[in-house]
Amino acid sequence: MAKYTKLQTLTAIKETGMVPVFYNADVEIAKQVVRACWEGGVRAFEFTNRGDFAQQVFSELSKFVVKECPGMILGAGTIIDPATAAIYIQLGANFIVGPYLNPDVARLCNRRGIPYSPGCGSVTEIGTAQELGCDLCKVFPAGSVGGPGFVKGVLAPLPWSMIMVTGGVEPEEENLTKWMKSGVTAVGMGSKLFPKEMISAGNWEAISQKCREALGWIAAARG
């Protein structure tokens, strides 16, 4: 069951401006990565459904976050059908993210009062998602559908839109500044935020520092 309301979750994502995206089959590694992000100032984290028994890892991670990372809002990503979404919501997911729009997932999340951020690659898809109650739409793959210019183009006729971009986002000042100046609500980042060498070495403080730097650049770009 979700611990946070839809408004609380969307507010946290909007205020911090960044949602790390991560998967690992080792629950202990997942716990350390989430804690590192939390210590770095992150307050919304997406664990992706990308491997066998991922839901079991999420279950343990969800309980860990409640006890060890107060204020961290945990969600589930790479969700493509309502049955899978229901499993993760039951295990404590506070938001659901998908690579594309599934109206049945939108209805389920609306019924449970949590945000659903589907992947959209056109103005039509964004508009359809909004009609289905999706407050925060994920533009994916953001770097391939037009980059920051696409976001600016969407917000011109649809200024009320809340957009999170994933794909083509890097934890670098120039890259993050361009995205934030385009008007995005938040950015999603995966492997660039968690280099394999840092994970292998267990260098959790380096991950925390990457998060601090990224959040600092986001805040600066927002002015």
pLDDT, residue 80, reads: 98
CATH code of the region 6-222: 3.20.20.70
Average pLDDT of 19-41? 98
Task: Give the model's confidence band at 1: pLDDT under 50 very low, under 70 low, under 90 confident, else very high.
Answer: confident
pLDDT, residue 82, reads: 98
In angstroms, the CA 130 to CA 218 distance is: 25
Give yes or no for residue 173 having a pLDDT over 90: yes
Q: Where are the beta strands (DSSP E) in the chain?
A: 18-22, 44-48, 73-77, 96-98, 116-120, 136-139, 162-166, 186-189
pTM, 2 dp: 0.97
Give yes or no for residue 96 having a pLDDT over 90: yes
Average pLDDT of 66-74? 97
Average pLDDT of 46-68? 97
All structural domains of the chain with their residue ranges:
6-222
Q: Tokens at residue 162, please?
A: 């809340």
How many Cβ atoms are within 10 Å of 209's Cβ, its own excluded?
A: 14
Percentage with pLDDT > 70 across the chain: 100
Q: Which of 98, 82, 91, 114 is nearest to 4 (CA)?
A: 114
Average pLDDT of 153-170? 96
pLDDT, residue 16, reads: 97
Average pLDDT of 151-156? 96
Give yes or no for residue 115 having a pLDDT over 90: yes
